Amino acid sequence: EDKVVQSPLSLVVHEGDTVTLNCSYEVTNFRSLLWYKQEKKAPTFLFMLTSSGIEKKSGRLSSILDKKELFSILNITATQTGDSAVYLCAVDSLNTGTASKLTFGTGTRLQVTL
Amino acid sequence: DTGVSQDPRHKITKRGQNVTFRCDPISEHNRLYWYRQTLGQGPEFLTYFQNEAQLEKSRLLSDRFSAERPKGSFSTLEIQRTEQGDSAMYLCASSRGYTGELFFGEGSRLTVL
């Protein structure tokens, strides 16, 4: 059974800090790892990673995947209060055929204070 | 692109009653997914449609759950004889082909008393 473990479970930082969120996984026939941000209701897509060592970047957010060690990190630099959310990591397996049958972790709850 | 819409946003029901949720995906998205999320957990996959065909169902989807997507457009998720353990947020998502990126709706929260 596919498994995703995220750490820390929650984190409180001051605005301007840099944070690193961790995601380790076990999956048969890995296809991709995805990061989503969930502020109140709907998770919104951040990144999809398929290859080791290639950093994906969007503004102050970046992510990288290590397929040998089976983990990914999500970095947020110069955090802002608007970054406060639950960050979800998910994996997708080739075993699911054409479906995005994602296995999610429990998420990291990030709170950014002034 | 008006996003994925779900209705109702919140449903409170008594144990044993039937409930139905509706999802309208982003137009031209041929793939539609239902996930369930309980408090403090990540979403769990329930079922998947490609156009009108239901191609995948999770073991979480007991016989009391049924999903349809007639004509490959909107989808409904019905839960019969609800139990307290069914209380959760039911999330619908859609995508155009396989991109890995799912567009989620804001969910339908079910509370079973």
How far B24 CA lies from chain A's nearest CA (Å)?
14
CA-based radius of gyration for chain B: 13
Whether the per-residue pLDDT at A62 is higher than 80: the answer is: yes
Pairwise CA distance, residues A79 & B27, whole Å: 35
**pLDDT, mean of residues B70-95:** 95
Q: Do A97 and B100 touch (CB under 8 A)?
A: no
Ranked by mean pLDDT, the top range of A1-5, A49-53, B20-24, B95-99 is: B20-24
Region class of A70: left (phi > 0), else alpha (psi between -120 and 50), else beta: left
Task: Say yes or no to pLDDT of A67 above 80.
Answer: yes
B91 touches chain A (CB under 8 A): yes
Place B1 in a pLDDT band, splitting at 50, 70 and 90: low
- Quick one: closest CA in B to A42, which residue? B106
Helix (H) or strand (E) holding A103: strand A103-104
d(CA A60, CA B81) in angstroms, rounded, equals: 47
pLDDT exceeding 70 applies to what percent of chain A? 99
CB contact under 8 A, B56 and A104: no
> Nearest CA of chain B to the CA of A18: how many Å?
24
Residue of A nearest to B34 (CA): A101
What number of C-beta contacts closer than 8 Å exist between A and B? 67
User: Is the pLDDT assigned to residue A28 strictly greater than 90?
Assistant: no
Question: Span B62-75, mean pLDDT?
Answer: 92
- Please answer yes or no on whether B100 and A4 come within 8 Å at the CB atom: no
pLDDT mean across residues, chain A: 93
Least CB-CB distance to B100: which of A42, A92, A105?
Answer: A92
- From A47, which residue of chain B is nearest by alpha-carbon distance? B101
Nearest CA in chain A to B42: A106
Average of pLDDT values for A47-76? Answer: 94
Phi, psi of B16 (to 5 degrees): 100, -15
Q: Which residue has the higher pLDDT, B59 or A71?
A: A71
> What is the sign, positive or negative, of the torsion defined by CA atoms of A5, A91, A46, B46?
negative
B26–chain A Cβ distance below 8 A for any pair: no
